[in-house]
Structure 1
Amino acid sequence: MTTYDFTDRTAVVTGGSRGIGYATAHLLAASGANVFLTSRMAEAAEEAAAQITADLADTTGAGTVTGLAGHVAHPEAAAAVCAAAVEATGRLDILVNNAGTNPAYGPVADQDPALVAKVFEINSTSPLVWIRAALDAGLGAETTGSIVNIASIGALTMEDGIGVYNSSKAALLHLTKQLARELGPRARVNSVAPGVVRTRLSEALWKDHEDAAAATSPLGRIGEPADIADAVAFLAAPSSSWITGTNLVVDGGQLVGTSSISGK
């Protein structure tokens, strides 16, 4: 992992008990941030925070990590988590909207409208709820705030089976750009679009056929949560202070594909 300087800055990371959220919380804390990670269940959030704290026990300059229950679909949870972060540290600088869901599979027209609404609630609307809560709690009051939304390369293409999920992430990309336009200069708003990453959410895309999944990328492997965490930290860092409204694709080249012409 790359290292950054987030000394004295405060970050909230939703869905931080595993996968990309966990790796992001770990990197931000290792780089000096005081991190508040969430999960639907308090126990999972607290266990993740304790594990990161133990991992960083000998890391000079590491920040603190706190695990809090916070269902991303509940506005009251968003308000409580953001308020707790400010109460504990006096500020809020970074919000990472990482939590997501993908329960709908199959042709879009065949999906239960209630299930489609749930996917959009978690993947598209909830980030907006947390952004509103973060702003109300004071994000961007001390320095320009940074908001990073976790999207997907599926938002940029067509794909069988997970069209509902991809559509919800496409909506998140549009919201990212619109919010960047509206919230500057108080806050920068960017997104990261991962390809196939070794997480529980995306297991169907790689588990039991990892070699085939890796072969679709010019770099010859699937992604790791740390790959995405690095991209999030880059966009959240003060050194990226003139970047907003941008979507950073991190997919090992999956979108460009591989060539039948050998260049090796």
Structure 2
Amino acid sequence: MDIRLDGKVALVTGGSRGIGQAIAATYAECGARVVITSRKIEGLERSAEEIRSRVPGAEVVPFAAHAGDPQAARDAVALAVDTFGTLDILVNNAATNPHFGNVVGVDVPRFDKTVEVNLRGPLVWTQEAWGQAMGPDTAHPGGCVINLSSVSGLQFNDPLGVYGMTKAALIHQTKHLAGELAPAVRVNAIAPGLVKTEFARSLWEGAAPDAKYPWALERLGDPQDIANAALFLASDLASWITGEVLVVDGGAMIKGGI
């Protein structure tokens, strides 16, 4: 089945690498026009060029914006609307994890930073998307929001406890916003397992290239695995799905892993 997003406009936070870049590239490949954001313009410009090399003719606009900054969210959504006329898909992918260790040992600045980016950020970006592009008072109401949670938000994970707390709260936020913004906007979440990205390097580095991982499908996740799920949730095939969490973890949770 050929899934298309022709005529759609998407904004992907954390789009300079890893899962965010894979989602943006997949959307562009399927016909969407895309705005990608992250903190540093240099990484975004590289990402945009890589997407254009993969998808000749792709319309990709990089915009430097800190995911935890409300003004940056406002400006990025305004850019998407001013450039492309609307915004149909918001992917809240950007995340941070400054504390790796027990929850009881976290200091307040690191806790606050994690909440700012991983939980408050998706709320603020969704508020801006709703107010400027998707809500009933906008020119083209409707759309969908996809939040990147984590399997760490669904189970105990000792070194990722604070990160997991914010991702668990993001799932609850997803469900509440799905109810509040319906029927105009669908809001869903994806909970990835361990994916081979720079962000998760400390969790997979050192394993042999052909290592069999101790979960059902025996391999590390690839950013494209998550991008495929994000494509489905953004498409009309998911038009009767909202408030849900799609776990994409290679069967890790059913075998007790991450």
Interval containing the TM-score (normalised by the shorter chain): over 0.9
Change (3 A) 1:78 1:213: farther
Which deviations, in whole Å up to 9, do the C-alpha atoms of 1:200-242 show, x marking residues without a partner?
1111111102579742211110100000000011111122111
List per-residue Cα deviations over 1:122-171 (Å, max 9, x = no partner).
11110001001111221255363110000000111001111000111001
Q: 1:63 to 1:240 in 2, by over 3 A?
A: farther
Q: Aligned pair 1:44/2:39, yes or no?
A: no
Normalization by structure 1: what TM-score?
0.92
Distance 1:190 1:18, change over 3 A: same
Moved more, 106-115 or 164-173: 106-115
Q: Which residue of 1 aligns with 2:81?
A: 86
- Is the CA contact (8 Å cut-off) linking 2:35 and 2:62 kept in structure 1? yes
- Structure 1 residue ranges (4+ consecutive) displaced by more than 3 angstroms after TM superposition: 210-214
Give the 5 Å matches for 1:20-39. Answer: 20-39=19-38
Separation in structure 2 between the aligned mates of residue 213 and residue 149 of structure 1, nearest angstrom: 30
In the alignment, structure 1 residue 128 sits paired with structure 2 residue 123: yes
Q: 2:157 aligns with which of 156, 159, 179?
A: 159
Q: CA deviation at 1:92?
A: 0.6
For structure 2, the 5+ residue unaligned runs are none
Q: Separation in 2 of the partners of 1:183 and 1:138?
A: 13
Deviation at 1:192?
0.2
Q: When the two structures are superposed, what TM-score results if normalisation uses the length of structure 2?
A: 0.94
Structure 2 counterpart of 1:99: 94
Aligned counterpart, 1:110: 105
The answer as to whether partners of 1:104 and 1:115 remain within 8 angstroms in 2 is: yes
User: Paired residue for 1:209?
Assistant: 207
* CA deviation vs aligned residue, 1:85-105 (integer Å, no higher than 9, x gap): 111111110000000011102
| SS class of match (1:256) | helix
Distance 2:99 2:211 in 1: 21
Q: Distance in 2 between matches of 1:185 and 1:114?
A: 38
- Whether contact under 8 Å (1:155, 1:169) holds in the other structure is yes
Q: What letter is aligned with 1:236?
A: A
Q: In percent, how many aligned pairs have the same letter?
A: 43
